[in-house]
Amino acid sequence: MNNLLLVGFVFTIMIIYYRKTFIIKTFSNTQYWDKDLSDQIMNDLQVDKLTKISIIPPLDNNSYKRKKEIKYICYLQKLYNTEENKQKTILEKKLTHTIEYIDDKTILNSSQYNNLYYFIKYSLNPLIISIKNYFDTVRPSFLGSCVNETLFLEGNPGHPSYPSGHSFQSHFIAYLLINYVNVIDHPEKSKLIKQYLQRANDVSVRREIAGVHYKSDTNYGKLLALEISDILFNETIDVLNDKIYIHNKKWEQILS
């Protein structure tokens, strides 16, 4: 009987070791989807067919670069754990605040603001959520014990990590405004361009400090924002002055 108990104990330890060592952690085997966000997934969107944007796989969980990213998050959390950063991160959970923060009442009128909000919420967010679902990347705290995902927020968001939605949103807003001030040849466009980019970066990095994103999440979100804003600009799809809705197959047509 004792031998059977010993064998059972050893077998249990081996299973735990195997799971920790060999099973690749993903979002799907570490967390549950937020219902409101999972409903936005465009299941018929073939992400790997979107040839006009960069489809770059996330880093391997056990790679040197990923481990370096984990250490960097822990470094950021020690260095920038301030009440100001916490309050800004909480406010930036709302898209309305992010638009207001980056624009800072410099360019957008109320109609343009509403059109931009509508486009990001109902067209861009489902696209980025679908790309997140495609890559199914685990959040940083599941790979690094030093990462505190409750430093600024209540915990890890209920959707995959890669790419960063906040980086994508904030940089898309910035690039859209940059295109706009260039088109209208705003007299202070150099100053405004610098401000837009800095504020978009600030929003993105605060999500890293909060412990919910890797640097590569931020970089990929930024890249996609640049590529998609350029495509929309070249296709003369004016999301500031028109109420635009793009979904499912229409995205495939534009981005393929």
pLDDT tens digit string along 104-114? 988 999 999 99
pLDDT tens digit string along 186-233? 999 999 999 999 999 999 999 999 999 999 999 999 999 999 999 999
Domain residue limits at 206: 31-255
Q: Give residue for tokens 């391997």.
A: 60
Give which of 210, 222, 215 is closest to 72, Cα–Cα. Answer: 215
- Mean pLDDT for 18-26 is 68
Domain membership of residue 22 (yes or no) is no
Domain membership of residue 90 (yes or no) is yes
Domain membership of residue 2 (yes or no) is no
Q: What does the alpha-carbon distance between residue 139 and residue 141 come to, in Å, rounded to a whole number?
A: 6
pLDDT at 17: 46
Domain membership of residue 25 (yes or no) is no
Residue 58, preceding bond cis, omega within 30 degrees?
no
CATH code of 198's domain: 1.10.606.20
Number of domains in the chain: 1
- Sequence-distant (6+) residues with CB within 8 A of 202 are 88
pLDDT tens digit string along 26-49? 999 999 999 999 999 998 899 999
- Mean pLDDT for 50-58 is 97
**Do 172 and 124 form a contact (C-beta atoms < 8 A)?**
yes
Q: What is the DSSP letter of 24?
A: P
Domain membership of residue 11 (yes or no) is no
Domain membership of residue 152 (yes or no) is yes
Higher pLDDT, 12 or 192: 192
Domain membership of residue 3 (yes or no) is no
Query: Is residue 168 pLDDT above 80, yes or no?
Result: yes
Domain membership of residue 15 (yes or no) is no
